[in-house]
Amino acid sequence: MDHISLDRQARAILTGNDRGGYTVPTAGLYPYQWNWDSAFAAWGFAQFDVERAWTEVETLIAGQWDSGMVPHILFHQPDPGYFPGPDVWGGTGPIPSSGISQPPVAATFIRAIWEQDRAAGAARARALYPKLVKWHQWFMDWRVENGAVCITHPWEAGRDNAPDWDGAMAGIDPVGVGDYTRRDTAHVDAAMRPTKYDYDRYIWLVQMGRRLGWDDAALKAQNPFRVADPTMTFILMRAHRDLAEMGRTLGEDVGRIEAWIATLERGAEALWNPDLGAYDALDVKAQKFAGCVSNASFLCWYGGLDDDRMRPQIARVWNAVRYPVPSLEPASDRFDAKRYWRGPTWAIMNALISLGLRDQGLTAEAARLRRDTATLIAEHGFAEYFDPHTGAPAGGGTFTWTAAVWLAWASPSAGDD
């Protein structure tokens, strides 16, 4: 199919998943507004409807809690097809929500949307800016250990069942979790989803958070799951940079944000696993590395680090598959080509990795990843994720963020190479 038809199809996916002010990732499997999905959606909308892009991020930020946290799911309307819903989470914000956050790509895409038309977006950027600062401050206050950004639930990283969390998950005994009915496996082949072992622990962690009223201090003291994560660390580092840039344009004092950037730049070294020769997740409670070269390891450039040490790693992982970048290196004995974050390729992660490569001057690699992702989508559709060996689509179909990164980045119409 030619790229003009694919552009049209991608726009139809975004508008088809639009629920009026917010976009669902895909009908059925994910019937609410997810935080980073929504920010990607806004980036996609900005390619053909800037007004709608602003609305998307404004609806997302409207769910901000008093603490500054912006939840990972906003449950705008009931939907029995998803578990766990708002009754299980018991979120305490202005809109029924979950009690954890998600990788804060929003500031980066808000800056990109604003740059489409500075004058038209000025008032909206000014209104969002202090809310973004408050959210980023919340991360710095409650999620940072030795300068690396931690997650308190696997869903917070967005990489739900990544092997990065296996060690910390093994430390949880999900006693008393009770009976529950999963809905995800009614929509998608169970072989592409997390296991019951994972879900017992996911739900146990939600129940604990709810019991503690989602109080950040109580959770920090009592939650056994605290993992310093390359996704969060590099994405927040990048988001701080974009937020600081917005602040400078708005004439704000960005000294505090610059200090946060310096903290995370120093802290990134805490994620360097010398035995692996790669950025890795670190279980903060056990002080143990996960031992995973994941696609999040390659976000170092996106974070803004000029770091050559990961170049041989990406070349090695790239050459091991037909459709890069797999979410786990195929040589790992935990690699599973179809199971969500344990092997499949994700177009959104490729977009972030490629933007980082480009920004660090690795333009040939950046362009190649963009072309490879465009081929993957053109051949196999707008799936949630893909088998990195065969390209077979996996997870949900007609997926918002895959359509969004097609429009904003992968499509030849978006191109700058």
Catalytic residues: 160, 384
Residue 133 has, within 13 A of its CA and on its CB side, a CA count of 19
Whole-number minimum distance, CB 124 to ligand DGY, in Å? 27
CB-wise, 81 or 291, nearer to ligand DGY?
Answer: 81
CB-wise, 155 or 204, nearer to ligand DGY?
Answer: 155
With contact defined as beta carbons under 8 Å apart, do 377 and 6 qualify?
yes
Whole-number minimum distance, CB 154 to ligand DGY, in Å? 9
For residue 66, give the nearest of 129, 137, 153, 18 by alpha carbon. Answer: 137
CB-wise, 72 or 370, nearer to ligand DGY?
Answer: 72
DSSP string, 289-336: E----BGGGGGHHHHT---GGGHHHHHHHHHT-SSS-BSB-TTSTT--
For residue 113, give the nearest of 158, 61, 55 by alpha carbon. Answer: 55
3-state secondary structure string across 107-155: HHHHHHHHHHCHHHHHHHHHHHHHHHHHHHHHHHHHCEECCEEEECCHH
Q: What residue number has its CB nearest to ligand DGY?
A: 155
Pairing of strands 385-386, 393-394: antiparallel
Whole-number minimum distance, CB 379 to ligand DGY, in Å? 25
CB-wise, 155 or 260, nearer to ligand DGY?
Answer: 155
Residues that bind ligand DGY (CB under 6 A): 72, 155, 160, 184
CA torsion 261-134-60-271 (nearest 10°) is 30
Whole-number minimum distance, CB 334 to ligand DGY, in Å? 19
Which long-range contacts link 304-310 to residues 24+ away (Cβ below 8 Å)?
304/237, 304/238, 304/241, 304/261, 304/265, 304/356, 304/359, 305/234, 305/237, 305/265, 305/268, 305/360, 306/360, 309/272, 309/277, 309/278, 310/278, 310/279
Strand locations in 314-410, DSSP E? 385-386, 393-394
Residue 279: in which H helix or E strand, if any? strand 278-279
CB-wise, 184 or 365, nearer to ligand DGY?
Answer: 184
With contact defined as beta carbons under 8 Å apart, do 377 and 11 qualify?
no
With contact defined as beta carbons under 8 Å apart, do 63 and 71 qualify?
yes
DSSP label at residue 264: H
**What is the C-alpha separation between 155 and 266, in angstroms, rounded?**
26
**What is the C-alpha separation between 327 and 318, in angstroms, rounded?**
11
CB-wise, 188 or 268, nearer to ligand DGY?
Answer: 188
- Six token digits for residue 380: 């196999």
